[in-house]
Amino acid sequence: LAPEREHASALSLLAMLQREGRFLDFVQENVAAFPDADVGAAARIVHEGCRKVVHQYLTLQPVLPQAEGDKVTVPAGFDAQRIRLTGNVAGQPPYGGTLRHHGWVTTEVKFPSVSPAMEPRVLAPAEVELA
Protein backbone atom coordinates (compact mmCIF):
# COMPACT_ATOMS: atom_id res chain seq x y z
CA LEU A 1 0.00 0.00 0.00
CA ALA A 2 1.02 3.59 -0.57
CA PRO A 3 1.98 5.30 2.73
CA GLU A 4 -1.12 7.50 2.67
CA ARG A 5 -3.34 4.41 2.33
CA GLU A 6 -1.42 2.39 4.92
CA HIS A 7 -1.75 5.24 7.42
CA ALA A 8 -5.24 6.36 6.40
CA SER A 9 -6.64 5.83 9.93
CA ALA A 10 -3.97 8.07 11.47
CA LEU A 11 -4.52 10.71 8.82
CA SER A 12 -8.26 10.41 9.42
CA LEU A 13 -7.68 11.04 13.14
CA LEU A 14 -5.68 14.19 12.30
CA ALA A 15 -8.49 15.32 10.02
CA MET A 16 -11.05 14.78 12.82
CA LEU A 17 -8.88 16.71 15.30
CA GLN A 18 -8.67 19.54 12.79
CA ARG A 19 -12.40 19.51 12.04
CA GLU A 20 -13.51 19.51 15.68
CA GLY A 21 -10.67 21.37 17.39
CA ARG A 22 -8.67 23.18 14.70
CA PHE A 23 -5.68 21.22 16.01
CA LEU A 24 -3.50 21.62 12.92
CA ASP A 25 -4.25 25.34 12.65
CA PHE A 26 -3.17 25.73 16.27
CA VAL A 27 0.09 23.77 16.04
CA GLN A 28 1.02 25.37 12.71
CA GLU A 29 0.57 28.88 14.14
CA ASN A 30 3.57 30.62 15.71
CA VAL A 31 1.94 31.53 19.02
CA ALA A 32 5.06 33.18 20.46
CA ALA A 33 3.95 36.58 19.14
CA PHE A 34 0.49 36.41 20.74
CA PRO A 35 -0.35 37.50 24.30
CA ASP A 36 -0.75 34.65 26.80
CA ALA A 37 -4.45 35.46 27.22
CA ASP A 38 -5.06 34.98 23.48
CA VAL A 39 -3.13 31.69 23.44
CA GLY A 40 -5.05 30.50 26.50
CA ALA A 41 -8.41 31.37 24.92
CA ALA A 42 -7.46 29.53 21.71
CA ALA A 43 -6.15 26.56 23.70
CA ARG A 44 -9.53 26.16 25.41
CA ILE A 45 -11.28 25.87 22.04
CA VAL A 46 -8.68 23.45 20.66
CA HIS A 47 -8.76 21.42 23.87
CA GLU A 48 -12.55 21.07 23.87
CA GLY A 49 -12.74 19.90 20.26
CA CYS A 50 -9.75 17.55 20.44
CA ARG A 51 -10.96 16.06 23.73
CA LYS A 52 -14.32 15.34 22.08
CA VAL A 53 -12.60 13.43 19.25
CA VAL A 54 -10.33 11.46 21.59
CA HIS A 55 -13.25 10.43 23.80
CA GLN A 56 -15.38 9.50 20.78
CA TYR A 57 -12.80 7.24 19.10
CA LEU A 58 -10.38 6.06 21.80
CA THR A 59 -10.75 4.55 25.23
CA LEU A 60 -7.77 5.53 27.38
CA GLN A 61 -6.57 4.38 30.77
CA PRO A 62 -3.51 5.31 32.83
CA VAL A 63 -0.57 2.89 32.52
CA LEU A 64 -0.13 3.05 36.29
CA PRO A 65 -3.18 3.60 38.49
CA GLN A 66 -1.42 5.60 41.21
CA ALA A 67 -1.67 9.38 41.40
CA GLU A 68 1.13 11.54 40.11
CA GLY A 69 3.46 12.29 43.02
CA ASP A 70 2.86 8.91 44.70
CA LYS A 71 5.75 6.60 45.55
CA VAL A 72 5.83 3.53 43.29
CA THR A 73 7.93 0.40 42.93
CA VAL A 74 9.02 -0.71 39.47
CA PRO A 75 9.62 -4.47 39.58
CA ALA A 76 12.24 -6.53 37.77
CA GLY A 77 11.10 -7.46 34.28
CA PHE A 78 9.00 -4.28 33.87
CA ASP A 79 7.79 -3.37 30.38
CA ALA A 80 10.05 -0.56 29.13
CA GLN A 81 7.37 0.47 26.61
CA ARG A 82 4.96 1.14 29.47
CA ILE A 83 7.35 2.58 32.06
CA ARG A 84 10.23 4.99 31.36
CA LEU A 85 12.73 5.46 34.15
CA THR A 86 14.17 8.95 34.58
CA GLY A 87 16.55 10.55 37.06
CA ASN A 88 19.33 8.56 38.72
CA VAL A 89 18.88 5.13 37.12
CA ALA A 90 21.49 2.81 38.60
CA GLY A 91 21.64 -0.73 39.85
CA GLN A 92 19.09 -3.45 39.30
CA PRO A 93 15.32 -3.49 39.82
CA PRO A 94 13.15 -3.29 41.74
CA TYR A 95 13.37 0.49 41.63
CA GLY A 96 11.60 2.86 43.98
CA GLY A 97 10.67 6.31 42.79
CA THR A 98 8.06 9.01 42.42
CA LEU A 99 5.42 8.78 39.70
CA ARG A 100 5.78 11.93 37.59
CA HIS A 101 3.29 10.95 34.86
CA HIS A 102 0.95 7.97 34.96
CA GLY A 103 1.19 7.41 31.19
CA TRP A 104 -1.64 6.47 28.86
CA VAL A 105 -2.62 3.22 27.17
CA THR A 106 -5.38 2.78 24.61
CA THR A 107 -7.75 -0.01 25.55
CA GLU A 108 -10.17 0.42 22.63
CA VAL A 109 -9.98 2.07 19.19
CA LYS A 110 -13.22 2.87 17.37
CA PHE A 111 -12.10 4.62 14.18
CA PRO A 112 -14.59 4.66 11.36
CA SER A 113 -13.62 2.93 8.12
CA VAL A 114 -11.83 5.16 5.65
CA SER A 115 -13.47 5.13 2.25
CA PRO A 116 -11.09 4.26 -0.59
CA ALA A 117 -12.71 7.11 -2.53
CA MET A 118 -11.41 9.65 -0.02
CA GLU A 119 -7.97 11.21 -0.45
CA PRO A 120 -6.43 10.52 3.01
CA ARG A 121 -3.71 13.16 2.59
CA VAL A 122 -6.29 15.98 2.62
CA LEU A 123 -6.58 16.74 6.33
CA ALA A 124 -8.68 19.86 5.86
CA PRO A 125 -10.05 21.24 2.63
CA ALA A 126 -9.41 24.83 1.69
CA GLU A 127 -12.45 26.98 2.43
CA VAL A 128 -13.53 29.56 -0.09
CA GLU A 129 -16.37 31.91 0.78
CA LEU A 130 -18.33 33.13 -2.18
CA ALA A 131 -19.79 36.61 -2.25
Q: Residue 56: what pLDDT?
A: 95
Residue 3 pLDDT level (bands cut at 50, 70, 90) = confident
pLDDT digits (tens, 9 = 90+) for 59-106: 999 999 999 999 999 999 999 999 999 999 999 999 999 999 999 999
C-alpha distances in angstroms, 13 versus 3, 87, 102, 103, 112? 15, 34, 24, 20, 10
Q: Residue 124: what pLDDT?
A: 95
Q: Residue 115: what pLDDT?
A: 86
Distance CA 31, CA 39 (A): 7
| % of the chain with per-residue pLDDT over 70 | 100
pLDDT of 36 > 90? The answer is yes
